[in-house]
Amino acid sequence: MDVMPAVPAAEVAADLQPRPIPGAMLEALAARFGPRCTTSRAVREAHGRDESPFDVAPPDAVLYAESSEDVADAVRLAQQYRVPVIPYGVGSSLEGHLLAVQGGLSIDLSRMNQVLAVDAQDLTVTVQAGVTRKQLNDEIRHTGLFFPIDPGADASIGGMCATRASGTNAVRYGTMRENVLGLKVVTADADSVTTGTRARKSSAGYDLTRLFVGSEGTLGVMTEITLRLYPLPEAVSAAVCSFGSLDAAVATTISIIQSGVPIARCELLDVNAVRAVNRHDRLSLREVPMLLMEFHGTPASVQEQAQAVQQLAHEQGGEDFEWATTPEARTRLWTARHHAYFAALQMRPGCRAVTTDTCVPISRLSECLIETVAEAEVSGLPYFVVGHVGDGNFHVGYLLDPARPEERDLAERLNRQGVARALRLGGTCSGEHGIGLHKMDFLIEEAGVGAVALMRSIKHALDPYNIMNPGKVFAW
């Protein structure tokens, strides 16, 4: 699904030259993989887009890989012919990661969807990169364990590694950074390398796992991933709390985090988002700003946490909690939250959205969010706000009429202003979506020329022919 007026990706990555797959390599791919490697136009187009604003940039061919060996053999050919390789999971990237801006081979990992080993006693699992997060949780449900990272979309675990994803549970359980124990990666020279172990910690050498997590496919293709799991909490309660203003909801969030209550989820929806999910999911939430929260623990601890948070909310004029204690009621609420984005799009028929992703230190959240929303109000563009506010991370979605380019320009200007504000407040341009094609300038602003030069040195060292998802994160 496109979420913004289409823009040629080449406008962003202006220095990129096409590096099409030569005939000899196509023949070698056909010989090795048969019909699993295709140049069908429809398949190529489906693999040359994601949920970013950019126009389709199809690869020259798509390989459906079924093993690490498949991936290694394909990368070996790509290395030999100096052709780009783009790993593909489910296509839910928001920043243009999947676009073949120089052509090349898209390696679709969706058939690598085996849960390879559940080590319930160690709270670890090893999966192939194409396993999705919902599939994983379905397959391990019988163990009494779960994998908490939840970016909304039913993304592949490989894709979630690539963007260092987080989502609603990160406030308690951390992000992919904290929850990946080890990887199998096919590097640019077609080696299969293993990083990390199943031990919870290690001081053995450079942290290659963390280097690959968040590298957006630019350093190698992750084919297997070992993750931490958590015992399903004995008790879970979800609550909705309505507030008279966004200010009050954000102030409550800040005091929750500063108090150290181990809240499991703390999500903000502004009035526009609440209105959208009410209509989309036929709910009857009060159409005012709200926090959607979840508490995990023993029954006593859940009760204690909820009481502490209710008290903090009352101090800001928040209403009494409305509870969702049954699994069904909770699922209904969280499904609505996950639908917020699509629900909001339907509030302006035919629209697309530009979505921001800033994240700031918690004490600056109020300043950052309230100023950003004030700007959105003044702009006249329809918008909505949802946020993993416990982490200081929120998204403003600007709803655009694709027939009016000035709206897109305005939304991008608002995005730039929001990022500048977040950076000034000690934050980051991307809490969880990554850099891709869309935020390369923001990365330089945020990290500085020196840090980006270090990243580039690492890229040059590990991928000297720039075959791994070229044109993303930073210019070559």
User: Alpha-carbon distance 160 to 158, whole Å?
Assistant: 5
* DSSP 3-state of 139: helix
Residue 215 or residue 415: which is nearer to its own copies going by CB?
215
Measured in degrees and rounded to the nearest 5, phi and psi for residue 220 equal 165, 175
Contact 368, 424 (CB under 8 A): no
Burial 385-404 (b: 16+ CB within 10 A, else e): bbbbbbbbbbbbbbbbbeee
Where helices occur in 297-382 by DSSP H, the ranges are 299-315, 327-345, 365-379
* DSSP 3-state of 49: coil
Least separation in angstroms between residue 185's CB and its own copies is 9
Least separation in angstroms between residue 370's CB and its own copies is 16
Measured in degrees and rounded to the nearest 5, phi and psi for residue 472 equal -110, 155
Binding mask 121-160 for its own copies (x = CB under 8 A): xxxx------------------------------------
Handedness of CA 139, 143, 148, 152 (dihedral sign): positive
Least separation in angstroms between residue 106's CB and its own copies is 22
DSSP secondary structure of 440-476: HHHHHHHHHHHHHHHHHHHHHHH-TT--BSTTSSS--
Q: Tell me: does residue 63 bind its own copies (CB under 8 A).
A: no
Q: Tell me: does residue 119 bind its own copies (CB under 8 A).
A: yes
Region of 18-26, 129-137, 163-171, 274-282 interacting with its own copies (CB under 8 A): 163-171
Residue 262 or residue 327: which is nearer to its own copies going by CB?
262
377-416: contacts with its own copies (CB under 8 A): 391-393
Region of 47-55, 131-139, 371-379, 438-446 interacting with its own copies (CB under 8 A): 438-446
Residues 6+ apart with CB under 8 A from 11: none
Region of 103-111, 127-135, 225-233, 328-336 interacting with its own copies (CB under 8 A): 225-233
Q: Tell me: does residue 244 bind its own copies (CB under 8 A).
A: no
Residue 19 or residue 164: which is nearer to its own copies going by CB?
164
Q: Tell me: does residue 460 bind its own copies (CB under 8 A).
A: yes
Residues 6+ apart with CB under 8 A from 200: 181, 228
* DSSP 3-state of 248: helix
Binding mask 298-327 for its own copies (x = CB under 8 A): x-xx--x-----------------------
Binding mask 264-303 for its own copies (x = CB under 8 A): ---------------------------------xx-xx--
Least separation in angstroms between residue 474's CB and its own copies is 7
Q: Which of 174, 235, 342, 475 binds its own copies (CB under 8 A)?
A: 174
User: Alpha-carbon distance 276 to 336, whole Å?
Assistant: 9
Binding mask 179-218 for its own copies (x = CB under 8 A): --------x---xxxxx-xxxxxxxxxxxx-xx-xxx---
Least separation in angstroms between residue 331's CB and its own copies is 22
Q: Which of 271, 370, 420, 455 binds its own copies (CB under 8 A)?
A: 455
79-118: contacts with its own copies (CB under 8 A): none
Least separation in angstroms between residue 383's CB and its own copies is 22
Contact 276, 343 (CB under 8 A): yes
Residue holding tokens 């791919």?
29
346: which DSSP letter? Answer: T
Residue 40 or residue 298: which is nearer to its own copies going by CB?
298
Q: Tell me: does residue 164 bind its own copies (CB under 8 A).
A: yes
* DSSP 3-state of 146: strand
Q: Which of 153, 165, 268, 396 binds its own copies (CB under 8 A)?
A: 165
User: Alpha-carbon distance 75 to 185, whole Å?
Assistant: 11
Residue 313 or residue 362: which is nearer to its own copies going by CB?
362
Residues 6+ apart with CB under 8 A from 14: none
User: What does the block give as tokens for 389?
Assistant: 């506010």
Number of C-beta neighbours around residue 14 at 10 A: 9
Residue 244 or residue 426: which is nearer to its own copies going by CB?
426
Contact 347, 410 (CB under 8 A): no
Q: Tell me: does residue 474 bind its own copies (CB under 8 A).
A: yes
Least separation in angstroms between residue 341's CB and its own copies is 17
Residue among 395, 405, 400, 406 nearest 373 (CA): 395
Least separation in angstroms between residue 401's CB and its own copies is 29
Binding mask 349-378 for its own copies (x = CB under 8 A): --------x-xxxxxx--------------
